Amino acid sequence: MTEGKYNIKAVSTLTGIQPGTLRAWERRYAILEPVRNEAGHRLYTEEHIRKLKWLSEKVQQGFTISQAAALLDQHEDTHTSLQHVETSQHEALSEELLQALLRFDEVKAQELINKAFALYTIDNVTINILASLLVRIGTLWEEGKITTAHEHFATSILRARIGMVMHSFPHNGVLPKVVAVCGPDEWHEVGLLIFTLFVRRLGYEVVYLGASLKEGDIFTVLQTVKPRFVFLSCTLHQNLEPTLQLAEDIKETYPDMHIGVGGTATTGPIPEHAGQYIVGTTQSEWSEWMNSRL
């Protein structure tokens, strides 16, 4: 079973359904079965959020909650079938796009990316196709299965399209500013790019700095931008300690800023005092981390 990530307050914020209403729906219609943590508090999964948004939409369309609940099972069967079809289509299109990139065929690659955007939502294409391909290409290069030339060519095209999408999202002037940058001696931007895309999609204005900056430059940026959030990406374990130290230095200089550290290097053992900085590796964990600090 998928682990619960959201408390009832976060679910209410994400779905617009009041906590009392949520409890009533669970009790009367057995719609959801949230797990409970050690303190006995309800914890909800991404799947619960999806179901609740669907139910809320049906109620807004004029259905009673009992009618919506009765329709839910039928919807879930259809949703599962469609998911299988869509996954298969994604895989086929992604594979075709990968082969075009490895042939250095930019025209065909751009044609396939345009096709993906015509078929699927912006979020779906950027996260499930383009960003996933970036990760896959990086893995192929690290395993020696493609050349550096292949990696540079494919990455430049995919990053450019993701960047175009990222900058097209409108930002909410009410939300605080965010600075995103790789940690010291970190040059792999894929994880940071995906995280930034996620944050931009939520409406935050993000100053994306990319690969590692020269020592001290980050403080110049922070003094100018004055963000509420600073995110540091770390993929190599040997760079984790310097990245966490940078987080400490930023916190000491700007105690009101929220500093987050993410990336594959954070999945291992973390010093206890640094746990506050770890944002997690999934979108649900990122949401939970940010919501708890707003």
3-state secondary structure at position 229: strand
- For residue 285, pLDDT beyond 90: no
* Segment 284-291 mean pLDDT: 82
Report the percentage of the chain scoring pLDDT > 70: 93
3-state secondary structure at position 290: helix
**Radius of gyration over alpha carbons of the chain, in Å?**
21
Please, what sign has the CA dihedral across residues 90, 96, 99, 104?
Answer: negative
Mean pLDDT estimate for the chain: 83
Long-range pairs, 30-36, Cβ under 8 A, ≥24? 31/55, 31/69, 31/72, 34/4, 35/1, 35/3, 35/4
Whole-number Å distance between alpha carbons of 108 and 113: 9
Instruction: Categorise residue 280: left if φ over 0, alpha if ψ from -120 to 50, beta otherwise.
Output: left
- Per-residue pLDDT of 47-106, as tens digits, reads 788 888 878 887 787 777 777 777 776 655 555 544 555 566 778 888 999 999 999 999
* Segment 115-123 mean pLDDT: 82
For residue 291, how many other CB atoms are within 10 A of its CB? 14
Least confident range from 84-88, 211-215, 218-222: namely 84-88
Q: What is the pLDDT of residue 107?
A: 95
